[in-house]
Structure 1
Amino acid sequence: MKIAVQKIVVVVMLVLSSQFAMAQTPPPPTPPPGLPIDGGLVAMFFVALVLGYFISKKYLFTKKSSL
């Protein structure tokens, strides 16, 4: 009987000590250096595709007409 009481006391003490250890507040996050790169990245990609298409089309059109 005495061994069972000791086991219960040990288990309760372990549970309480683990809760105290996990109750600490995390440190504040550090701010990122510079500006984020992912803002509008998809839009910039499509604008680059459209701009590249029009510039290459203009280049090929002027190249053919000059012959």
Structure 2
Amino acid sequence: MLASILFFFMGFVSMAQGATPPPPSAPDPPGAPIDSNIAILFCIALTFGIYKMYKLSKKKA
């Protein structure tokens, strides 16, 4: 019953919004420069994963 009521009032909420779009926002700041070093980051993550797998297999044996 509650879901039906909420679904019914959803139409009123969406119609209550104005038709004019909001003003454009300021441009986003430049992102973090990880694009140039993504291969190094991948290699470090792969090496760390292999190290952890080796350490876990050594622990079980």
TM-score scaled to structure 2, two decimals?
0.46
Which structure: larger Rg?
1
Higher share in helix: 1
TM-score in terms of structure 1 length: 0.42
